Structure formats: C-alpha cells, structure tokens
Amino acid sequence: MLSGILIATGVVGAVGLFIGLFLGVAGIKFKVEVDEREEAVLEALPGNNCGGCGFAGCSNLASAIVKGEAAVNACPVGGEAVGKKIAAIMGVEEQASVRKVAFVACQGTCDKTTLDYEYTGIEDCRMLSFVPNGGAKTCDYGCLGFGSCVKVCPFDAIHVENGVAKVDRVACKACGKCVEACPKGLISLVPYDAKYLVACSSKDRGPVTMKGCSAGCIGCGLCEKNCPADAVKVKDFCAVIDPEKCEGCGICEQKCPKKAIVKEA
C-alpha cells in the first residue's frame, strides 16, 4: 500500500518536472522579443482604446509607431502633448499636427423642420434606412435625432438637443466614432480653429430645401460672391468653406439669408 503511494507520488513528481522543464525550454525558444520603446509608447498613450487612430487599440498603435507604420502624433485623444512624449521616446521630431473636432452639419431642430409623418419605433438612426424617405423629416439630408452618435461616443461629447446632435467642443477628442455612426454622413472632423462652418448638408435645390427646413442652405451663392478670400464655393446647391483659405472675416455669415453658416471658433 505504502509502496504504491510512493510510486504514484514519484510518477506525478517526474511528470511535473518534465512539464516544467519543457515549458521552460519552450519559453526560451519561442520567446517574443518586445521592443522596450513599445512599452514606453504604450505607457504614454491615454489608454482609451477608442480606435480613432485607425488601429484596434492603444497597444496596436504603439506597435505600429515603433515599427514606423504610424506617426508619433497618430493618437487623436492624446493630441499634441502625447505626441511630444512619444516623439521623445522615439528620438524623432514631432510632426506638425492640427487639432480637430467633430462637427454636425445640420441645424434642423424640431422648430425649424417639417415632418412627413410621425415616426414611432426603434430609436436608432441607422435603423431608419428601412422606413419611408429614411426618416420622418421632410429633409432627406438632416439629422434624424435618435442619437446613434451619442451611443458610440466614449467621451460623452455629443448629445441630441431639440432633435439635432450637438458636439461639446471641449469634451470631443476627435476619435471619429460619431463620424462612422452617422448614417446620413452629417458629422465630420474639422480643424478646431476653423472660424466659420456650413451647418447644412442638403443637396436639394433652394425651394425644396426651404420646404423642409427654415435653416437650410439654399445655394443662393451670396456667400461665394462676397467672400474676399475666395474661400466659399457652392457645390450641389450647398455652400462649402475651405478652412485653409478662410480669413475669418465673417462676411459669409452676415450675407447668408438662412443663417446656415455658423461661427464656431
């Protein structure tokens, strides 16, 4: 009886020793060398794992930066401060970066728009592609107001106010989640210091736009004709401002009869 126990104990011990030695050798043989800079870069990143940089998470971005596959200032959340830290770790100069912020190109609030019908159903903008005209609002290009963008924002930087999504410029980190979530393509990342922006995305002719929204761009061209910097162009019946040319004079805002051009910065 005792000898049987001793034999069993010996066998278990031998097996354990063999497995331990095998794992030890395998660990050495198949060890993946990690660049110390990668760990340092990962430590410098904010750790939000929002994907705004185009990578699956902060660890993937850190690996890409070390391999030279991403810029040292690729993290939109960390901004310039994090970019400088990572540049120091990598021993390179930080590339010039432009701070960006999400912008919703729509002012179609409940008091400014008309409805074709009353909608009751799932409150998710992405689901409205299955209903007539893509939503109850007469304007086919306006914000649907059911907050798909709000649900995906990891920074609580966007909210629906009076039927239209509104971005908190201070809280926004330009991760781009809301841009991807908007089925109407109304949200874009714009330079934070852009002075004037067109808060409309309608591609309809003026009379059609006015039927659906009192704040929509009617493509009249007054902004384009009066801009001294040639920064405004009307394309597809909707004004577009080139932020690089815009001098911030405000004439376009003053001339717009529908107040579709708004001052942001």
Residue 251 is part of a domain; what is its CATH number? 3.30.70.20
Residue 12 resides in a domain: no
Residue 18 resides in a domain: no
Domain end, chosen from 167, 192, 217, is at 192
Residues 188, 126 within the same domain: yes
| Alpha-carbon separation of residue 152 from 43, 109, 147, 185, 234 (angstroms) | 25, 21, 9, 15, 32
Do residues 137 and 115 touch, judged by C-beta distance below 8 A?
yes
What pLDDT sits at residue 34? 60
Residues 222, 171 within the same domain: no
Residue 129 resides in a domain: yes
Residue 187 resides in a domain: yes
Task: Tell me the two tokens of residue 229.
Answer: 């910097």
Residues 261, 197 within the same domain: yes
Residue 228 resides in a domain: yes
> pLDDT: is 250 or 1 the higher one?
250
What pLDDT sits at residue 14? 65
Comparing CA positions, the residue from 234, 151, 127 lying closest to residue 135 is 127
Summarize pLDDT for 124-156 with one digit per residue, the tens: 999 887 888 888 999 999 999 999 999 999 999
Q: State percent of the chain over pLDDT 90.
A: 57
Domain end, chosen from 131, 160, 192, is at 192
Residues 154, 217 within the same domain: no
What pLDDT sits at residue 110? 94
| Alpha-carbon separation of residue 53 from 45, 56, 151, 206 (angstroms) | 11, 8, 19, 38
Residues 154, 166 within the same domain: yes
Domain end, chosen from 192, 216, 250, is at 192
Residues 252, 264 within the same domain: yes
Residue 9 resides in a domain: no
Do residues 192 and 99 touch, judged by C-beta distance below 8 A?
yes
Summarize pLDDT for 86-115 with one digit per residue, the tens: 888 888 877 767 889 999 999 999 999 999
* Highest mean pLDDT (candidates 15-29, 64-78, 83-97, 227-241): 227-241
Question: 30 falls in which pLDDT band (50, 70, 90)?
Answer: low
Residues 166, 197 within the same domain: no
Is the pLDDT confidence value at 32 over 70?
Answer: no
What pLDDT sits at residue 169? 95
Q: How many domains does the chain have?
A: 3
What pLDDT sits at residue 1? 55
Summarize pLDDT for 166-218 with one digit per residue, the tens: 999 999 999 999 999 999 999 999 999 999 999 999 999 999 999 999 999 99
Residues 152, 201 within the same domain: no
Summarize pLDDT for 252-262 with one digit per residue, the tens: 999 999 999 99
Residues 183, 202 within the same domain: no
> pLDDT: is 197 or 38 the higher one?
197
Domain of residue 64, CATH code: 1.10.15.40
Is the pLDDT confidence value at 33 over 60?
Answer: no
Is the pLDDT confidence value at 18 over 80?
Answer: no
Question: 47 falls in which pLDDT band (50, 70, 90)?
Answer: confident
Q: Are strands 158-161 and 164-167 parallel, antiparallel or unpaired?
A: antiparallel
Residues 170, 118 within the same domain: yes
b/e 38-76 (16+ beta carbons within 10 angstroms → b):
bebbbebbeebbbbbbebeebbbbbbbbbeeebbbbbbb
What pLDDT sits at residue 22? 60
Task: Tell me the two tokens of residue 243.
Answer: 């932020």
What pLDDT sits at residue 215? 96
What pLDDT sits at residue 7? 65
Residue 15 resides in a domain: no
Residues 205, 224 within the same domain: yes
What pLDDT sits at residue 134? 85
What separation, in Å, do the N-terminal and C-terminal C-alpha atoms of the chain show? 87
User: What is the average pLDDT value for the chain, to the nearest integer?
Assistant: 88
What pLDDT sits at residue 259? 96
Calpha distance 254→262 (Å, rounded): 10
What pLDDT sits at residue 55? 87
Is the pLDDT confidence value at 8 over 70?
Answer: no
Q: Which H or E element spans position 19?
A: helix 2-29
**Range with lowest mean pLDDT among 9-23, 145-159, 228-242:** 9-23
Task: List the domain range (segments joined by +) for residue 245.
Answer: 193-265
Residues 178, 226 within the same domain: no
Residue 24 resides in a domain: no
